[in-house]
Amino acid sequence: MPIRLIVIVTDRDRFDQLRVQTHLPEVNFWSPSDSTFHALQPGELFLFKLHSPDNFIVGGGVFAHATSMPCSLAWEAFGEANGARSLTEMRERIARYRRVRPDNREDFTIGCRVLTQPLFFEQANWLCLWWQPYAMGPSASRFKCPHLRDTIDTCHHISYIPLRRDLYSS
């Protein structure tokens, strides 16, 4: 059975902020726009790839659901699980990606992709894979990798995260 997953590009700051929080049951992998997200069904894999030049898959989670909401509400709901240390820092990142002035006081509506069972690979386990762009947008990609199951098994063992084996069994 093929593995359905998506690889989404993220910035190093968000990744570093999330990976030090080992207690998180879920994370909000937000998008600076409120575009509709239909790439995955609940229970499918959502992986993180760092921006170039760090072209590695560095972690992921199990997709739970997607919605849009004002960034202030996302901060209230998820706090540091948004990958920022404060609402101000989160707003500054959103403004940077939207290419608007950082002092803009708009309560930006953002796309929220809620992931459960987040996992963040140790740098020695980062995946440098051949991948092929998929026609879903400039930051989204899909790929197939026969070694992905072994890497997730290793992270599962080290992190003691109860991943649903039916998502990646062959």
- Angle value at C-alpha 11, between 7 and 14, nearest 5 degrees: 105
- pLDDT tier, 1 (very low <50, low <70, confident <90, very high otherwise): low
Which ranges of 26-165 does DSSP label H, i.e. alpha helix? 71-78, 87-98, 148-159
**For residue 88, what pLDDT is reported?**
93
**For residue 106, what pLDDT is reported?**
86
Which residue is listed with tokens 């990606």? 97
Task: Report the mean per-residue pLDDT for the chain.
Answer: 79
CATH code, domain carrying 21:
2.30.130.30
pLDDT tens digits, one per residue of 97-119: 999 987 778 899 999 999 999 99
**For residue 59, what pLDDT is reported?**
95
- Residue 27: both structure tokens together: 């994370």
- The structural domain count of the chain equals 1
Q: How many CB atoms lie within 10 A of CB 17?
A: 18
**For residue 52, what pLDDT is reported?**
82
- The pTM of the full predicted model, rounded to 2 decimals, is 0.73
**For residue 133, what pLDDT is reported?**
46
- Residue 164: both structure tokens together: 């649903």
136-160 mean pLDDT: 42
**For residue 130, what pLDDT is reported?**
54
pLDDT tens digits, one per residue of 11-44: 899 999 999 998 899 999 999 998 889 899 999 9
**For residue 35, what pLDDT is reported?**
84
Q: In the structure, how many helices (H) and strands (E) does the chain have?
A: 4, 7
Q: Which domain holds residue 83?
A: 5-167
